[in-house]
Structure 1
Amino acid sequence: MQVTAKNRSFTQLIEFEIEPGQQPALVSALTVQTERLAQRYAGFVSASVQASDDGRRVLGFLQWQSREAGEAAFQSFETGEQDFWQLIRTHQARTVTFGSFQVLSSIARSHDDGLHCQLVG
């Protein structure tokens, strides 16, 4: 069965460039926001908050079942209890880079230790 573009899963990447002293607090704040999105919005698949070794970057990775689900959640992230723009100001982000991607293939290790690749058509 071929999956249409509308039905492909959707990934949002947000990279923050910050001063090293801001990294732990930003990681904590993004983790809280991500947990809220996961609990409140349908279509959540997975997420991670990653910190660079040099302390100058934080990467937020969110994967959704569809573009619509991701965009709906992100709209709330922009205007929620702690809005996204306030988060940027509080943690003094020098730059914030947004990326949106449709998943075309993925590979994962299963519980039986096998590798499984899925191509989305």
Structure 2
Amino acid sequence: MQSPTNERSFTQLIEFDIEPQWLQALVTALSEQTERLARDFPGFLSATIQASEDGRRVLNCLQWQTREAGDAAFRSVEHGEGNFWRLIQQHRAKAVTFGSFQVLRNIERSLDDALHCPWLNQAQRGIREGDSHYQKR
């Protein structure tokens, strides 16, 4: 049985195909844009900006509490300050790929070196609120 959509976080993946000489400028522009989104839009959870080893691809991963929060933020950069399409042109991206995903499972290592694997739909699996699975390395 699927869990309700509102219990899942939402991830936007944007991959840029660029020439290596544009890497640092694009990373800087995406960092500034992401900081504005984090500050100005409720529902922001986290973001990463990653580069391939050859410097030809940049991956911007933004995670939101809900699809609606992510969509609202994207609409603002699509036409507003820091216009997204202008950013693509300025950094001479040869191609841009967009992806939207619901997070179904999240596995993290905690500060005490344990693996934290929370269930996303605890009620349907009979798991009490706050319980999760831990595995010490």
TM-score, length-scaled by structure 1: 0.94
* RMSD of aligned residue pairs (Cα, Å): 1.2
Are 1:82 and 2:82 an aligned pair? yes
Q: Deviations over 1:80-103 (max 9, x none)?
A: 212000000000100000000000
- Mapping of 1:1-121 within 5 angstroms? 3-121=3-121
- Where has structure 1 moved over 6 Å in runs of 4 or more? none
Question: Residue 84 of structure 2 aligns to which amino acid in structure 1?
Answer: F
Tell me the SS of whatever aligns to 2:81.
coil
In terms of fraction of residues, the more strand-rich structure is 1
Identity of aligned residues (%): 62
After TM superposition, give the deviation of residue 119 of structure 1 in Å: 3.0
Q: Deviations over 1:48-77 (max 9, x none)?
A: 111111010110000000000000011111
> Using the alignment, how far apart are the partners of 1:21 and 1:111 within structure 2?
37
Aligned residue-pair number: 120
> Using the alignment, how far apart are the partners of 2:101 and 2:85 within structure 1?
22
TM-score, length-scaled by structure 2: 0.84
Q: Deviations over 1:1-36 (max 9, x none)?
A: x84113310000000000111111000000000000
* More contact order relative to length (CA 8 Å, sep ≥ 6): 1
Question: Residue 33 of structure 2 aligns to which amino acid in structure 1?
Answer: Q
> Using the alignment, how far apart are the partners of 1:58 and 1:119 within structure 2?
30
Question: Residue 91 of structure 1 aligns to which amino acid in structure 2?
Answer: H
> Using the alignment, how far apart are the partners of 2:78 and 2:42 within structure 1?
17
After TM superposition, give the deviation of residue 112 of structure 1 in Å: 1.8
> Using the alignment, how far apart are the partners of 2:41 and 2:24 within structure 1?
26
